[in-house]
Structure 1
Amino acid sequence: MTEFVVVPGLFTGPDAWRETAAKLAAEGARVQVVDLGPATDLDAHIARVVAAIDTITEGTGEAGEAGGRDIVLVGHDYGAYPASGAADRRAHRIARVVYLDTGPVQDGAVALAAVPDQGLRERLAKDGDTVGELPPPGREEWARWGSTAGVPDEALDRLTAHAAPQPLGTLLRPLRLTGATDGLPSTGVLCAESGATIGTVRMLLSFGDPTIKALVRQDVTFFELPTGHWPMLSCPEELADVLLRAAADEGTRLEPVGEQESVQSGYFRPFLLDVPEIPRERRGAIDLYVPEGGAGEPRPAVVIVHGGPVPEDASPTPREWPTLVGYARLAASRGAIGVTLDHGLHAVTAYPTAAEDVAAAVAEVRADPRVDADRIALWFFSGGGPLTAPWLREAPMWLRCLAASYPIMAPLPSWGVNDPRFRPADVMAQGGTPPFVLIRVGLEASAVAATVAEFVAAAEAGDAPLEVIDVPGAPHAFEGLDHGDAAREAVSEAMRRVLVRLDLE
């Protein structure tokens, strides 16, 4: 018999888990949903989870034996912290830890990271008050704490009615772990509408993210649910099924990069179009691909801006990725100077830094005597989408065009970032923006597709000059994965439209 010990997240308790617990029980499992209640600090919540674990072993044999039952700990957002602390103290009783729409936590981690609102997080950290409470959200405020996609109105009413304040001491004091759980089996249940997918995890792995590398183990599995941050309310039975499968050691396992790169790492595979091997010229943070005969009249430039976040120690760095180099060489083969660059988008909170880096790189490009400083196009990829907002808002006359390939056009719900400077849709809705060419893929993650839909609708409302090129059967970062005619034609046509704005075609 599998024993589930569920640790709820911020503001929630057993009521939110009512349907999922009932489904688990109907399938023969036993379930305890810990009522964390008020507490002075994280250790007090850990103690309550430990007590729940200990009640399972009462009367079943010697202390520390689980009576033949497998104990599966489930932590939802903040709940991952007390769950991890309890697993560390009772590691010999735990079969698996399940992280629901959250990630594993390390020794010294502070649960304030579970607060999705970056601005609120910074204010709480600065204040340092460990005595007060964080009040629960109102009925219309839950979306600030995680995507409410799929949650029925009745369930949202119930969530609000049963919400409890979160003691600040539980958020501001660090988690202390001994390492007893190192190597303990674990499962990540990702919620796609929050912006977390298995595809995203694989892409981060291909970028060399050390946190993801540590999860390449046979006892670490993943599941993905097509819902928001509250699956115990939006799809309780599906969540129960996933938890049962996790307990049975099922799920998707990550493969080392060398084994999975051929199907997941589009950026690192050969570019879908045959382009000339135009040599690279490195100038500081930028690489230039100059057409043959580039010493003549100054030429327009197409600046390729990568997405992210990308680990700071990624190797190769984005400006050397075959996909981005392919776009730069394609531009150069058609008469423009192609440029790739590296910028500092190493975390979802680093958009201001990345924006400064891009602006500095563009200034360096325009200063090159071979570049026509009055004919510049910027082309953004994936997580670089929010970086278009500053250029849309204050477009200089020399910026003839912007383009974006499968972009994320607003911070995703799981990021906890709401900086208004990086919301392109808000600018497009006002109109008066430069021409914009958008490559939209049909096999996009739903949370990302929602940001693109919002951007397109805003452009229509503002009568902004947006041209959309759809690639219905293509996935994110398709250039190394899909070499079919439709994908090849889409890239070629998008480049043509950009170069038209640069007076080249």
Structure 2
Amino acid sequence: MTEFVLVPGLFTGPHVWRETAARLESEGARAHLVDLPGRRSENGAGADVAADVALVVETIDAIDAAADGRDLPEIVLVGHDYGVHPAVGAADRRPGRVARIVHVDTAPVSDGVPALATVPDQELRERLAAAGDTGGELAPPARDAWPRWGSTAGLSGAALDRLTDLAVPQPLGTLLRPLRLTGAELPPTTGVLCAESGATLATVRMLLSFGDPMMKALARPGITFFELPTGHWPMLSCPDRLAEVLLAAAAGDGESLLDDADGADARTATAGYLRPFLLDVTERPRERRGTIDLYVPEGAVEAPRPAIVFVHGGPVPEGAEPTPRDWPTLIGYARYAADRGVVGVTLDHRLHAVTAYPAAAADLEAAVARVRADPRVDADRIALWFLSGSGPLTAPWLSARPPWLRCLAANYPIMAPLPNWGVNDARFRPAEVVARGGTPPFVLVRVGQETSAIAATVAGFLAAAEAGGAPVEVVDVPAAPHAFEGLDHTDSARDAVREAMGRVLGHLTVPQ
């Protein structure tokens, strides 16, 4: 019989697991609900991750003692956000006794790294780290503030009330004091991704194809994933489905990042952005100028041409190869622009993390200035075309609207920071800008097979644009996925790219 040890996350206690535990036990398993000691002591005095690890270890030992000489049961430790830190610590202290660790909507854990990373709000993380107060507490959120701690998608009003009414302060020592591991071999791991938080299997695979070191570490035997179409608290929004996933994880099921016995992901070499562009374009050479590449049409020396700057998404890990301006999708768009008589431009920018939008914005601004200074470019007729995670970078340009910026475009964009990013920088929220109106024309290519979390940001942007009277033109590709240019070579996808380009060229007053 499998025995599950369920460890709560930030501000929560055993109550969040009750429905999931009941379903597990109805299927013949046993469930142990951990009440972390810092939640029971006054002002969280002395509470830290080591004390929480010790309690989970006590739970494991109590399970073994109850066996009373019989065969020891299989133990699965389940941690939700912060709760995975004491779960991993306990598995480290009891090597060989834990069959699997399940991470519920949380990142991997490393030795010597405090659990502060489970606080999604970047500004709050920085304040807590700077203060260094390990003896105090972090007050739980008010009812309307829970979305700052994770997507509340799927939660009923009653569930949100319960989350709020039973919330407890989080001892700061649990977040600021590092987890120390002995180096013992840890058991297999399963990650439960919550799509409405912005974490999906597609995202994980894309980060792996970018060469993300953390994702590479997860492409190993014994590491599996499940994805749930819900927000950050699946034990409240879909407890029965979460129980089914936990049982399947205990059985070793789930999706792996490995496709062959050598431990290689065969899809890495053919990830969407590395596949051939969906249109046949002229194989014209690039001109590399620092961080930008130019694809120049014939005749631009005699008569300067408008330019379209194509802005890659991300985050893309620093040092990833090839860099985005060498991706077939970006090259394909730039060459297609040149085929249509305008200068196509690609660039590399520093969007290496979700906190790096200011650096990426500065890189883009410098690149645009360099493009406009090229004598073959008509400096008064520029368009910016954004892809995927570069969507938030549209906000500064929508707000400034220089007269030479004739149009913005965006393909399958992320138009607001996703719930699990914890980024609240108002400079990169395009919806807030278009709601005020007076913005440049905007061509938005929307795919029908988008993840729900990204689609929600697009819907919010379009609603704000309508309210503000902002000129947004939507080109729909109903059957296409995110990054469709390398994945969907159907006539409808090709037609959508041609239509989007035609609309952008129209704003640049280029004859069709």
Instruction: Give the TM-score of the pair, scaled to structure 1.
Output: 0.97
Q: Is 1:50 aligned to residue 57 of structure 2?
A: yes
Give the stretch that moved more between structures: 240-249 or 114-123. Answer: 114-123
Say which of 205, 214, 218 aligns to 1:215. 218
Q: Is 1:408 aligned to residue 414 of structure 2?
A: yes
CA displacement 1:150-185 (0-9 Å, x = unmatched): 111111111111111000011111111122135x21
Q: CA deviation at 1:110?
A: 1.3
TM alignment of 1:55-454, pairs within 5 A: 55-60=62-67, 67-182=71-186, 184-255=187-258, 259-261=266-268, 265-454=271-460
The two structures, once aligned, show a CA RMSD in angstroms of: 1.3
Corresponding residue for 2:30?
30
CA displacement 1:111-150 (0-9 Å, x = unmatched): 1110011111111111111111001111211111111111
Distance 1:142 1:258, change over 3 A: closer
CA displacement 1:181-226 (0-9 Å, x = unmatched): 35x2100000000000001101111111111111112311100000
Inter-partner Cα distance in structure 1 for 2:227 and 2:33:
22
Distance 1:486 1:164, change over 3 A: same
SS at match of 1:140: helix
Inter-partner Cα distance in structure 1 for 2:399 and 2:181:
47
Contact 1:57 1:67 in 2 (8 A): no
CA displacement 1:214-265 (0-9 Å, x = unmatched): 11123111000000000000000000000000000001111366512477x2
Inter-partner Cα distance in structure 2 for 1:373 and 1:178:
60
Q: CA deviation at 1:429?
A: 0.5
Runs of 4+ in 1 over 6 A off after TM superposition: none
SS at match of 1:58: helix
Contact 2:208 2:268 in 1 (8 A): no
Q: Which runs of 5+ in 1 are unaligned?
A: none
Contact 2:382 2:508 in 1 (8 A): yes
Letter in 2 for 1:9: G
Say which of 471, 478, 486 aligns to 1:472. 478
Letter in 1 for 2:482: H
Inter-partner Cα distance in structure 1 for 2:76 and 2:377:
61
Inter-partner Cα distance in structure 2 for 1:400 and 1:101:
41
Inter-partner Cα distance in structure 2 for 1:358 and 1:59:
62
Letter in 2 for 1:251: G
Distance 1:252 1:411, change over 3 A: same
Inter-partner Cα distance in structure 2 for 1:294 and 1:53:
72
Q: CA deviation at 1:46?
A: 0.9
CA displacement 1:379-425 (0-9 Å, x = unmatched): 00000000000000111111010000000000000001111110000
Letter in 1 for 2:223: V
Q: Which runs of 5+ in 2 are unaligned?
A: 39-43
Q: CA deviation at 1:278?
A: 1.0
Instruction: Give the TM-score of the pair, scaled to structure 2.
Output: 0.96
Say which of 477, 482, 492 aligns to 2:488. 482
SS at match of 2:480: strand
Inter-partner Cα distance in structure 2 for 1:47 and 1:258:
37
Inter-partner Cα distance in structure 2 for 1:358 and 1:262:
28
Inter-partner Cα distance in structure 1 for 2:258 and 2:330:
25
Letter in 1 for 2:6: V
Inter-partner Cα distance in structure 1 for 2:91 and 2:298:
63
Inter-partner Cα distance in structure 1 for 2:469 and 2:160:
36
Inter-partner Cα distance in structure 2 for 1:469 and 1:384:
18
Inter-partner Cα distance in structure 2 for 1:153 and 1:75:
24
Letter in 1 for 2:79: G
Corresponding residue for 1:10?
10
SS at match of 1:340: strand
Corresponding residue for 2:41?
none
